[in-house]
Chains A and B, each alone.
Chain A
Amino acid sequence: MSNKDLKKLIEAIIFTSNKPVTIKELKFYFKDFETKELRSVLKELITEWDNAEHGFNLVEVSNGYQLRTKAEFSDEIVNFNKEIKKFRISKASLEVLAIAAYKQPLTRLEIEQIRGVDCSGVINQLLDKRLLDIRGRKDVPGKPFLYGTTDEFLETFNLKSIKDLPTLKEIEDMEPELKLDF
């Protein structure tokens, strides 16, 4: 197969998939092509969709590739299609997800210590939505569950991988200022 055909085929595969298509999956199917070749084809596709006057992009998300509409059209898409219910998420959920994303795996208590409020309800909702999952149990008395973020979390928040999160500002950096004299 020529590189040109490969490109068209990969595009068709991505178009029909309702999950981000990963390099691993593509490599498994296109055994004759190197990972490097597949990556370069995907890169070409991304550039082409970016340059083209189209309503959607090819986006690298959750360790894969997916076609997504451009953000500028969100309101009109929802206005046109009444069946689409806009995804809503509370501040509390966002805080729990942020803590879990950076400190995973961690227990409910560890999340609550940072937020200063009970988080069991929020955590259960996030488990139902599959934005969080249970990673195991912590080896401390009571063996509490350890929570972490999922692939669905990466997909929802448009993240390539968990490493794609911006670095947290470090508290340690500020500590010298803390030595107060009074």
Chain B
Amino acid sequence: MSNMEQLELPYLVKLQVFEGPLDLLLQLIKKNKVDIYDIPISKITEQYLEYLEVIKQCNLEVVGDYLALAAQLSLIKSRMLLPQIESEEEVEDPRAELVQLLLEYERYKDAAEDLENRDILGKEVFIRGLSYFDEFGDAAQETEIVKTDLWSLVDAFKEVCIRRQFELTEDLVFTVESFSIEEKTNELLEFFKTNEKYAFKNIFNKMNSKAEIVITFLTILELVKNELIGIKHENPEDEIELFYIGEEDLEQ
């Protein structure tokens, strides 16, 4: 299929709706009303390659994904053309693997449609207040344990490390250091019991060794994981704060 003039405009319009090579192939199968378990490879491959030409013309970045499946289709087509050698072994249909891929994809495509048809929050149904995703950082979240992701915590820790590095270069003292998470756990819990909340980066202020800083960080992660302390990070530009939740709450 080299003659572009033969391709009509509707092809271009339809292109928008393909989510990928497997989706294109599925739609070709549906359009031709053929059995997915008995795909006429020659015919479908030809049509697939026609679409591929259009995709190439559009300079779409995704063309690579489509080319890979085109190669697979051509390979299957050539295997189908090979004469069958009489043998006692059961010969696998060259299309079998592709059919599996298509079926697997189709069932998630269906599942995606099911999701789309649900009463989506912010589309079909609404809650009080405005747009759903704008709610983050609301005043109402003041006392809530806000979910912050691990990476903002790691980022904050990296900052601490960088800041400390510059200060530490001045006096170099060798001492035997031993810090354990157990010790730090008790120390930090005692500390948080008396301090309602505390800025994450200030916890490291009095610490002079890298080992202690690292152990402290690990301990904080452990305490958060066990829901003994909480992390509050309301806005990306705000300080990350830690606060005590405590053991008694955990029992409930």
Selected from B20, B108, B131, the residue in CB contact (under 8 A) with A84 is: B131
Contact A156 B122, CB 8 Å, known A83-B130, A114-B108: yes
Contacting pair B104 A114 (CB below 8 A): yes
Of A77, A157, A168, which one neighbours B126 at CB under 8 angstroms? A77
Which residue of chain B lies nearest to A71 when distances are taken between CB atoms in the complex? B124
Q: Is A18 an interface residue (CB 8 A)?
A: yes
Assess whether B19 is interfacial by the CB under 8 Å rule. yes
A44 to chain B, nearest CB (A): 21
Q: Which single residue of chain B is at the shortest CB-CB distance from A155?
A: B121
A53 within 8 Å of B (CB atoms): no
Taking CB atoms, residues of chain B closer than 8 Å to A155 are 121, 132
CB of B170 closer than 8 Å to a CB of A: no
How distant is the Cα of A92 from the Cα of B100 in the complex, in angstroms? 21
A104 to chain B, nearest CB (A): 13
Taken together as a complex, chains A and B put the C-alpha atoms of A168 and B108 apart, in Å, by: 8
- When A116-B22, A117-B19, A180-B37 are in contact, do A98 and B111 touch as well, CB less than 8 Å? yes
For the complex, give the distance between the alpha carbons of A71 and B155 in Å.
42
Per-position contact with A for B124-139: 1 when CB-CB < 8 Å, else 0? Answer: 1111111111010010
A85/B37 contact (C-beta < 8 A), A71-B124, A74-B124, A74-B126 known: no
- Tell me the bound Cα distance from A81 to B22 in angstroms: 40
Which of B22, B107, B150 is the one whose CB lies under 8 Å from A169? B107
Q: Is B240 engaged at the interface, CB distance under 8 Å to the other chain?
A: no
Whole-angstrom distance between the alpha carbons of A117 and B129 in the complex? 37
Are B149 and A18 closer than 8 Å at their CB atoms? no
Kindly list chain B residues whose C-beta atoms are within 8 Å of the C-beta of A129: 133
Assess the A177–B120 pair: CB atoms within 8 A.
no
B: residues with CB less than 8 A from A are 17, 19-23, 37-38, 62, 65, 69, 84, 93, 95-96, 99-101, 103-105, 107-116, 118-133, 135, 138, 140, 144, 147, 149-150, 252
Complex Cα distance, B125 from A99, in Å, reads 24
Does A102 interact with chain B (Cβ within 8 Å)?
Answer: yes
**Shortest Cβ distance from B221 into chain A, in angstroms?**
13
Chain A 73-109 near chain B by CB (<8 Å), digits 1 or 0: 0100100010111111101101101110110000000
B115 and A85: CB pair below 8 A?
no
Given contacts A70-B125, A102-B108, contact A178 B20 (CB under 8 A): no
Given A117-B62, A158-B118, check contact A94 B112 (CB 8 Å): yes
Q: How many residues of A contact B (CB 8 A)?
A: 55
- Does B118 contact A134, Cβ atoms closer than 8 Å? no
Chain A residue contacts of B103, Cβ below 8 A:
171, 174
A106 to chain B, nearest CB (A): 12
| Cβ contacts under 8 Å, B140 to chain A | 18
Given contacts A85-B131, A158-B125, contact A114 B105 (CB under 8 A): yes
Query: In the bound complex, do residue A180 and residue B107 qualify as a contact, i.e. CB atoms below 8 Å apart?
Result: no
Q: Which residue of A lies closest to B116 (CB)?
A: A94
Interchain CB contact under 8 A, B125 and A98: no
Cβ-closest 5 pairs across A and B = A87-B122, A117-B20, A98-B111, A94-B112, A98-B112
Query: Roughly how many angstroms separate A71 CA and B127 CA in the complex, as a whole number?
Result: 11
- In the complex the two chains form, what is the Cα distance from A45 to B80 in whole Å? 63
Knowing A92-B19, A116-B20, A117-B65, the reply to whether A86 touches B123 (Cβ < 8 A) is yes
* Contacts known (A28-B252, A84-B131); A158 close to B119, Cβ less than 8 A: yes
Q: Are A68 and B127 in contact (CB under 8 A)?
A: yes
For residue B65, which residue of chain A has the nearest CB? A117
Find out whether the CB atom of A86 lies under 8 angstroms from the CB atom of B108: no
Chain B hits for A74, CB < 8 A = 123-126
Query: Is B111's CB under 8 angstroms from A18's CB?
Result: no
- Given A18-B135, A74-B123, answer yes or no on A95-B107 (Cβ-Cβ < 8 Å): no
> Does any Cβ of B come within 8 Å of A69's Cβ?
yes
Smallest distance from the beta carbon of B117 to chain A beta carbons, Å? Answer: 10
- Find chain A residues with CB under 8 A from B69 CB: 116
Residues from chain A with a CB closer than 8 A to the CB of B21 are 116-117
